[in-house]
């Protein structure tokens, strides 16, 4: 081969390479960035995610300017009714018919696991802010989903560890009977046992349940020092209320709410919840930035954000910035950009997205204030300590995720 | 200490008492449904929403007008009944001659509208309602700690349930009512205002639901969806008891509370389904229900 031919061949090849990267940058499906918001919009989890989360998503769209690199952002939303089949079908339809690029929100863990399968098959992106089950980034991990706010592993390691170390050695678990409850129960049992405690007994209650008196009575009869509530939403508020009615704490037993949201404490009131320790991924009244963002959210919704609603904004913003930087809405390019960039905003400092899809950021151990210490309606928590992200979340060395190389 | 089925008797007694307390809610709610169905032939799907309205009326009264629990116990059912009567006069009345299905769809739609509006106004997580001061605290019964308020629920609902049964089955007014549904034309001919009787009956059934709502307010969160969670179970209770049977609905309500309570001890995962299991068995063995008369 002559030198000229070699040169020519190289030139052609590099030109081809250049066109292919060019084809990716600036390429947008349908000439629009289409995002979707899926959550419980009317049921037991709608107060912690629901319409408030949709408002947070809209804030993110407005804050990025309504369009990225000249491409308009549109949003669709739906109520999954906490039913995996409804959620998965809706997302499949959104992808097939409406050509969405990604879905955010996602609450009930059972729904999320089902939706993530669809999202992986279709090579789109899901940013999970509402769900708790740590299995989402463990045995059910996918390369297309990112778990943003918290998980059962972090909750157990935050709250259960603190309670056991303070002397609460024997536990009675009250567990919601589905994926999330089981995951939380498993993670709590492990933490309790590792720290020298034991699980005396446990009850799995149907989801949702309205009357907890029978279960609280069983917990009382078990003689355990601590009653661990591995449930969420209305189930948790009803458990707490019944426990207070049956004089659980006066009789010397301690309650550990493993998953308590700001709206739960707000609606139950400080009288019932005071002194309760909990782990949260976000609290509005923690720093200047959290206050500033939450105040804006409050002006739109009349409520302070839960960690889930703040997470919806944070995750979408990170997505939008990645689209902006990669100049495309192509799934793998955006995911790569998201993983390469640390998350730095009001929600997380130096958050990083791991290969298993876990967004690792600092968590906070908080205590519910006494009524006398609270200065306003939303002044509910005292942050006791910051749990560094690497301590809060499951280390990759313990992961069963298929994407983690061992 | 002897054990029954591996469980100490004290625990079992405690659970049975708890079951009875829940059963008295079922009894109160299914009684209202049974009256409305038995006398008006309407399957009242907005019963759950009316129960929720009762709880909310009590909460709103306390929050904005300082109405205390005892006054709310009377006032809330009256207000909700007035709302029910309005619905009966304007909407339900038109459907008496139609198939059951129309009444069911209309009341179901109304329930969705009412609940949706309350979710919109108050959010889904609910509002707290404090136990009235005179009923706070509890008694140690030896086998369990019984909060005074739960004891009050049993007493109040039993008195109301059996009072209602007595009124319908044993008094002249009750006789008019039963006759009015058997043969309205004949009753009209005797100079009895049957439409008024029917309106008041619907109002009374609704008031029972609202009363259950007020009783429930201090122990559950006052939430827009509190009724829809309960309604299907209560319908199952009515079917088991025999559609339209007054005494049947009361006794079945208590019985189902007991069965559910025991399931929560032996196999808690099934506690939300056990009533439907019983329903299927009863429908196979006695299609008209435990207390129903074969057509």
In a domain, A19, yes or no: no
In a domain, A172, yes or no: yes
In a domain, A214, yes or no: yes
Confidence at residue A22, expressed as pLDDT on a 0 to 100 scale: 43
In a domain, A404, yes or no: no
pLDDT of residue B155 exceeding 90, the answer is: yes
Residue A136 sits in the same domain as residue A184: no
Confidence at residue B98, expressed as pLDDT on a 0 to 100 scale: 84
Instruction: Say which residue the tokens 């029978």 belong to.
Output: A214
Distance from the Cα of A207 to chain B's closest Cα (Å) equals 9
Do the Cβ atoms of A242 and B225 come within 8 Å?
A: no
Domain count, chain A: 2
Calculate Rg over the CA atoms of chain B.
Answer: 19
> Pick from A316, A339, A357: which residue ends a domain?
A357
Q: Identify which has the larger pLDDT, B174 or B7.
A: B174
Residue A93 sits in the same domain as residue A61: yes
Residue A72 sits in the same domain as residue A108: yes
Residue A370 sits in the same domain as residue A269: yes
Do the Cβ atoms of B149 and A267 come within 8 Å?
A: no
pLDDT of residue A4 exceeding 70, the answer is: no
Confidence at residue A20, expressed as pLDDT on a 0 to 100 scale: 45
**Chain A contact present for B13, CB below 8 A:** no
Confidence at residue A12, expressed as pLDDT on a 0 to 100 scale: 58
Residue A124 sits in the same domain as residue A236: no
Residue A337 sits in the same domain as residue A265: no
Residue A372 sits in the same domain as residue A319: no
Confidence at residue B37, expressed as pLDDT on a 0 to 100 scale: 87
Name the residue among A204, A211, A237 with its Cβ closest to that of B125.
Answer: A237
Confidence at residue B38, expressed as pLDDT on a 0 to 100 scale: 82
Distance between CA atoms of residues B157 and B109, nearest Å: 29
- Looking up residue A377, the CATH number of its domain turns out to be 3.40.50.2300
Do the Cβ atoms of B272 and A213 come within 8 Å?
A: no
pLDDT of residue A16 exceeding 60, the answer is: no
In a domain, A159, yes or no: no
Do the Cβ atoms of A246 and B145 come within 8 Å?
A: yes
pLDDT of residue A17 exceeding 60, the answer is: no
Do the Cβ atoms of A43 and B124 come within 8 Å?
A: yes
Q: What is the crossing angle of helices B194-216 and B226-241, to 10°? A: 120
**Chain A contact present for B11, CB below 8 A:** yes
Query: What's the pLDDT tens digit per position in B253-272?
Result: 999 999 999 998 889 889 88
Query: What's the pLDDT tens digit per position in A242-271?
Result: 998 888 888 889 899 999 999 999 988 898
Query: What's the pLDDT tens digit per position in B5-60?
Result: 667 777 788 888 889 999 999 999 999 998 898 888 889 999 999 999 999 999 99
In a domain, A369, yes or no: yes
- Nearest residue to A45 (alpha-carbon basis) of A132, A138, A108: A108
Residue A77 sits in the same domain as residue A176: no
Residues of B in contact with A48 (CB under 8 A): 125
**Given CA atoms A157, A311, A175, A254 in this order, what sign does their dihedral have?**
positive
**Ranges of H-type helices in chain B:** 9-40, 47-65, 69-90, 100-122, 148-170, 172-182, 184-189, 194-216, 226-241, 246-266, 274-285
Confidence tier at B243 by pLDDT (50, 70, 90): confident
**Chain A contact present for B271, CB below 8 A:** yes
pLDDT of residue A387 exceeding 80, the answer is: yes
Q: Are A51 and A15 in contact (CB under 8 A)?
A: no
Residue of B nearest to A42 (CA): B124
Q: Identify which has the larger pLDDT, A143 or B131.
A: A143
**What does the pLDDT average to over A338-359?**
97
Query: What's the pLDDT tens digit per position in A133-151?
Result: 999 999 999 999 999 999 9
- Nearest residue to B174 (alpha-carbon basis) of B42, B289, B35, B292: B35
pLDDT of residue B230 exceeding 80, the answer is: yes
Residue A327 sits in the same domain as residue A380: no
Query: How many CB pairs below 8 Å do chains A and B form together?
Result: 110
Residues of B in contact with A303 (CB under 8 A): 123
Residue A246 sits in the same domain as residue A368: yes
In a domain, A315, yes or no: yes
In a domain, A393, yes or no: no
Do the Cβ atoms of B219 and A245 come within 8 Å?
A: yes
Confidence at residue A154, expressed as pLDDT on a 0 to 100 scale: 96
Whole-number percent of chain B with pLDDT over 90: 53
Confidence at residue B246, expressed as pLDDT on a 0 to 100 scale: 87
Calculate Rg over the CA atoms of chain A.
Answer: 23
Confidence at residue B2, expressed as pLDDT on a 0 to 100 scale: 54
ipTM: 0.81
Domain boundaries of chain B, sorted by first residue? 41-223
Do the Cβ atoms of A206 and B269 come within 8 Å?
A: yes
Residue A123 sits in the same domain as residue A181: no
Residue A253 sits in the same domain as residue A293: no
Distance from the Cα of A236 to chain B's closest Cα (Å) equals 11
């Amino acid at each position: 081969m002559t030198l000229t031919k070699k040169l020519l061949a190289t030139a052609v090849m590099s030109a081809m390479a250049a066109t292919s990267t060019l084809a990716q940058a600036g390429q947008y499906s349908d000439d629009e960035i289409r995002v979707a918001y899926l959550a419980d919009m009317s049921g037991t989890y709608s107060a912690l995610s629901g319409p408030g989360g949709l408002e947070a998503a809209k804030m993110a769209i407005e804050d990025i300017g309504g369009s990225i690199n000249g491409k308009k952002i549109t949003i669709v939303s739906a109520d999954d009714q906490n039913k995996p089949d409804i959620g998965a079908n809706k997302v499949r339809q959104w992808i097939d018919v409406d050509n969405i690029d990604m879905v955010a929100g996602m609450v009930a863990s059972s729904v999320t696991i089902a939706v993530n399968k669809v999202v992986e098959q279709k090579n789109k992106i899901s940013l999970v802010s509402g769900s708790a089950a740590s299995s989402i980034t463990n045995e059910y991990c996918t390369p297309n989903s990112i778990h943003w706010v918290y998980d059962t592993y972090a909750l157990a390691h935050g709250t259960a560890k603190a309670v056991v170390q303070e002397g609460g050695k024997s536990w009675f678990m009250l567990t919601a009977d589905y994926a999330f409850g089981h995951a939380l129960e498993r993670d709590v049992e492990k933490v309790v046992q590792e720290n020298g405690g034991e699980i005396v007994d446990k009850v799995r209650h149907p989801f949702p349940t309205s009357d907890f008196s029978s279960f609280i009575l069983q917990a009382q009869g078990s003689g355990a020092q601590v009653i661990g509530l591995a449930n969420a939403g209305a189930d948790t508020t009803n458990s707490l209320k019944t426990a207070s009615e049956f004089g659980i704490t006066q009789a010397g037993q301690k309650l550990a709410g493993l998953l308590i949201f700001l709206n739960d404490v707000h609606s139950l009131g400080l009288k019932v919840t005071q002194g309760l320790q909990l782990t949260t991924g976000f609290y509005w009244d923690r720093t200047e930035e959290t206050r500033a963002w939450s105040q804006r959210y409050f002006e739109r919704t009349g409520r302070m954000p839960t960690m889930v609603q703040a997470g919806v904004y944070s995750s979408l913003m990170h997505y939008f910035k990645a689209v902006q930087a990669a100049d495309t809405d192509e799934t793998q390019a955006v995911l790569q950009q998201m993983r390469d960039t640390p998350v730095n905003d009001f929600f997380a400092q130096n958050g990083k997205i791991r290969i298993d899809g876990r967004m690792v950021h600092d968590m906070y151990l908080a205590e519910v204030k006494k009524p006398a210490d609270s200065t306003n309606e939303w002044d509910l928590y005292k942050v006791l300590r910051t749990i560094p992200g690497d301590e809060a979340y499951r280390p990759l060395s313990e992961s069963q995720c298929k994407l983690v190389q061992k | 200490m002897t054990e029954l089925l591996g469980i100490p008797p004290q625990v079992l007694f405690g659970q049975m008492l708890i079951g009875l307390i829940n059963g008295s809610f079922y009894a109160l709610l299914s009684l209202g449904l049974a009256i409305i169905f038995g006398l008006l032939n309407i399957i009242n799907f907005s019963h759950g929403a009316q129960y929720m309205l009762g709880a909310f009326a009590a909460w709103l009264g306390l929050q904005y007008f300082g109405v205390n629990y005892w006054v709310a116990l009377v006032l809330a059912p009256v207000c909700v009944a007035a709302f029910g009567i309005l619905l009966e006069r304007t909407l339900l009345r038109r459907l008496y001659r139609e198939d059951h299905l129309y009444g069911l769809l209309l009341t179901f739609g109304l329930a969705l509208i009412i609940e949706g509006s309350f979710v919109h106004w108050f959010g889904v997580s609910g509002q707290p309602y404090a136990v009235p001061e005179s009923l706070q605290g509890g008694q140690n019964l030896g086998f369990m700690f019984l909060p005074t308020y739960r004891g009050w629920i049993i007493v109040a609902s039993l008195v109301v349930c059996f009072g209602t049964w007595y009124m319908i089955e044993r008094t002249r007014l009750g006789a008019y009512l039963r006759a009015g549904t058997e043969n309205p034309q004949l009753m009209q001919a005797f100079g009895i205002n049957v439409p008024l009787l029917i309106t008041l009956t619907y109002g009374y059934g609704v008031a029972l639901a609202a009363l259950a709502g007020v009783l429930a307010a201090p122990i559950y969160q006052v939430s827009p969806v509190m009724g829809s969670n309960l309604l299907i179970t209560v319908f199952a209770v009515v079917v088991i008891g025999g559609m339209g049977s007054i005494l049947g609905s009361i006794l079945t309500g208590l019985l189902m509370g007991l069965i559910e309570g025991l399931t929560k001890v032996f196999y808690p995962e099934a506690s939300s389904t056990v009533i439907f299991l019983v329903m299927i068995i009863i429908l196979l063995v006695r299609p008209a229900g435990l207390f129903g008369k074969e057509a």
